Amino acid sequence: MCGIFGQIAAGAVSNTVKALKYLEYRGYDSAGLALRRGDCLEMYKTEGRIATLERIVDGIDEATVAIGHTRWATHGAVSTANAHPFLSEDGNFAIVHNGIIENYRELKALLPQVKFTSQTDSETVAHLLRQNYRGDVLQTVLTTARMLKGSFAIAVLSVYGDKLYAVRNKSPLVVGFSSNGAYLCSDIRCISHWATSVAVAPDNAVAEIGKNGAKFFRLDGTPVDVKFFAPPRAEETESFEGDFMLKEIFEIPAKLRQAKRNYVERGGLSLDADTVRRLKRIYLIGCGTAYHSGLAVAAVARKFIDADVIPVVASEFIYDNYPVDGDTLAFLISQSGETADTVRAAERVTESGGLTYAVTNTDSSSLTFKCDNCVNICADGEFAVASTKAYNCQIAVLTMLFADIALLRGTLSAKKHNAIFREIDGLPFAVEQILDESYRIAQLAEEVAHSSAVFFIGRTTDYPTACEGSLKLKEISYIHSEAYPAGELKHGTLALMERSVTVVAISTDPALRDKMISSVNEVTSRGARVIAFAPYAMEGVDTFELPPTGELLYAATACVPLQLLAYYAAKSLGRDVDKPRHLAKSVTVE
């Protein structure tokens, strides 16, 4: 989703381009930057890739103040006119914006004399700044910020002085410094390429950023204190040539080891026994892939936990009437820790007196600040927009959390608890065996790529794997795909089975093997082709044999061949696997 960067330091243009390249992983459709040269602001923007912007600004590097943006369209089509930055009509203010200005129509009505150049909500902010300017930029930004409703991180550059201004409400924004200068960004890992000390801007606040320091203000103008800290190290991505998605799938074994080590070293669950014994219900809340990891772990946790274990899509949880009280624990699962729906769900749990626990890949994210507890899944940065290794680590960490909960509640013996932790140790080896056979998946993917539709089917604990396999395939290959509980096919969907359709059948539970074979027969007899993923050979169909994994943990391994299947099918169709169309990471709007 949109990313912003700003800086006051030498090399403003090249650094901004570098930062925007780092932010590419969030998904975007256009990009731009504004800089100050002499007493004037200049603006450069384009639809498409950062590489195009880089060519446009090639040779301009004397600027020391700049702001930049990657846009993921929400208001108005993908076009250069709708790309950020936006300039006020007099050219004295430039802004970039991440989020949504919900009341932009009313605000536009206050500016009848202005000729808008775009269809965006964001442009309104630039014109309001001009209208509100009375000689003091800080007061202008504060006055303007008080008029805005919605979620936003906005960076403001003006011709009046060398400072940058930032406004934050709900969308991520960090401010940082090094001996070279000052920076702001929507991504803490990105800013750490330059800043050695960073602070997360508070909600409903304005930052006035000079080269050597920043002041933060509440919207009424009163100062607010923030804490600076050393940011997490930034991964180098520039020198890597190849597909990040494939690289990240091949990192899964190492990241699973890291996730287990970190979980044990931090002392496991870290909740007191009385609290855990009192719990009546435990929610697993997330979006997309993160929701699927909750779905997967809920399916196994129900086997050994006596509380209600309820996986819910975050955007549904916010507006539905799921009960929450003092006996409720909610795991908020989010790779980025910035997904707006998941952050709002955490707020809803807190407001109703429940306990929140963030399971993220990003310390110092909005979610970790909102939640009572947090654990890092230690998957490290994902630069492909489609999530892969975070999913495996989420499953491993959530399984350990539930095993610890069950041990404290006495519904899991110490012996079975130890067995689960040993199974976690075995996961990396099982994944390595799958990766060694990736050439076989590449062959299977050729047929998938030429299917008119792909259905992923599984029962109980395999159904979440089907959901994740289907999501991966559709988001990067654009082939229509759906996930179905295998037993549900006969209630309507069999109508779609024909020769051009592929069915991917996942079957890891020996108790349900015969039922899965029946489901497979139902589709093959209607002409569909089946590819099976199971720890045994399935008669009459192409089977990729999964290495045996503990019964409770197949979800963490069975998804790997499906991640590869999606990758190879997308490659075969010539798709841009790392930057698929319309897909955003860090979805910071509801």
Instruction: Tell me the catalytic residues.
Output: 2, 585
Distance of alpha carbon 549 from alpha carbon 393, whole angstroms: 15
b/e sequence 186-196, b meaning 16+ C-beta within 10 Å: bbbbbbbbbbe
Give whichever of 214 and 290 is closer to ligand F6R, judged by the CB atom: 290
Give whichever of 253 and 337 is closer to ligand F6R, judged by the CB atom: 337
The DSSP code for 202 is P
Distance of alpha carbon 453 from alpha carbon 481, whole angstroms: 6
The residue from 30, 70, 144, 334 that contacts ligand F6R (CB under 6 A) is 334
User: Residue 69 is inside which H or E element, if any?
Assistant: strand 65-71
Give whichever of 169 and 336 is closer to ligand F6R, judged by the CB atom: 336
In the β-sheet with 174-178, what is the strand arrangement from edge to edge?
40-47, 30-37, 65-71, 3-8, 181-185, 174-178, 197-200
Amino acid letter, 155: A
- 336 lies in the binding site for ligand F6R (CB under 6 A): yes
Distance of alpha carbon 557 from alpha carbon 395, whole angstroms: 10
In angstroms, how far is CA 544 from the centroid of its own chain? Answer: 30
For ligand F6R, which stretch binds (CB under 6 A), given 170-178, 268-276, 286-294, 407-415? 286-294
DSSP output for 253-284: HHHHHHHHHHHHHTTTT---HHHHHH--EEEE
Distance of alpha carbon 25 from alpha carbon 79, whole angstroms: 20
Residues with Cβ within 8 Å of 91's Cβ and at least 6 positions away in sequence, in order, are: 40, 41, 159
Give whichever of 288 and 469 is closer to ligand F6R, judged by the CB atom: 288
The residue from 88, 124, 143, 342 that contacts ligand F6R (CB under 6 A) is 342
CB of residue 66 to ligand F6R, shortest distance in Å:
27
Give whichever of 381 and 550 is closer to ligand F6R, judged by the CB atom: 381
Give whichever of 287 and 309 is closer to ligand F6R, judged by the CB atom: 287
> Residue for token digits 């004399």?
113
Half-sphere exposure of 361 (CA within 13 A, CB side): 28
- 585 lies in the binding site for ligand F6R (CB under 6 A): yes
CB of residue 243 to ligand F6R, shortest distance in Å:
14
CB of residue 368 to ligand F6R, shortest distance in Å:
12
Handedness of CA 190, 563, 2, 100 (dihedral sign): negative
- 252 lies in the binding site for ligand F6R (CB under 6 A): no
Give whichever of 7 and 293 is closer to ligand F6R, judged by the CB atom: 293
CB of residue 28 to ligand F6R, shortest distance in Å:
14
Distance of alpha carbon 431 from alpha carbon 436, whole angstroms: 9
- 579 lies in the binding site for ligand F6R (CB under 6 A): no
For ligand F6R, which stretch binds (CB under 6 A), given 172-180, 245-253, 334-342, 396-404? 334-342
**453: nearest Cα among 440, 472, 437, 470:** 470
Strands 93-101 and 150-158: antiparallel
The DSSP code for 335 is S
**388: nearest Cα among 191, 256, 508:** 256
CB of residue 496 to ligand F6R, shortest distance in Å:
24
Residues with Cβ within 8 Å of 76's Cβ and at least 6 positions away in sequence, in order, are: 82, 118, 119, 120
CB of residue 583 to ligand F6R, shortest distance in Å:
7
- 190 lies in the binding site for ligand F6R (CB under 6 A): no
Distance of alpha carbon 190 from alpha carbon 361, whole angstroms: 14
For ligand F6R, which stretch binds (CB under 6 A), given 126-134, 200-208, 284-292, 454-462? 284-292
Binding mask 288-317 for ligand F6R (x = CB under 6 A): xxx---------------------------
- 386 lies in the binding site for ligand F6R (CB under 6 A): yes
For ligand F6R, which stretch binds (CB under 6 A), given 76-84, 141-149, 240-248, 282-290? 282-290
The residue from 16, 46, 151, 387 that contacts ligand F6R (CB under 6 A) is 387
- 335 lies in the binding site for ligand F6R (CB under 6 A): yes
- 46 lies in the binding site for ligand F6R (CB under 6 A): no
> Residue for token digits 């301009």?
60
- 339 lies in the binding site for ligand F6R (CB under 6 A): yes
For ligand F6R, which stretch binds (CB under 6 A), given 208-216, 297-305, 498-506, 581-589? 581-589
- Give 534's strand partners: 545
- Number of residues counted as binding ligand F6R (CB under 6 A): 16
3 state DSSP class of 34: strand
> Residue for token digits 């012996």?
415
Give whichever of 7 and 368 is closer to ligand F6R, judged by the CB atom: 368
Strands 93-101 and 86-87: antiparallel
Give whichever of 101 and 473 is closer to ligand F6R, judged by the CB atom: 473
Distance of alpha carbon 79 from alpha carbon 536, whole angstroms: 51
CB burial of residue 132 (10 Å; 0-12, 13-18, 19+): middle
- 481 lies in the binding site for ligand F6R (CB under 6 A): no
For ligand F6R, which stretch binds (CB under 6 A), given 202-210, 243-251, 273-281, 582-590? 582-590
Site for ligand F6R in 456-475 (CB under 6 A): 471, 475
CB of residue 395 to ligand F6R, shortest distance in Å:
13
Binding mask 85-124 for ligand F6R (x = CB under 6 A): ----------------------------------------
For ligand F6R, which stretch binds (CB under 6 A), given 6-14, 96-104, 263-271, 333-341? 333-341
Residues near ligand F6R (CB under 6 A) = 287-290, 334-336, 339, 342, 386-387, 471, 475, 585-587
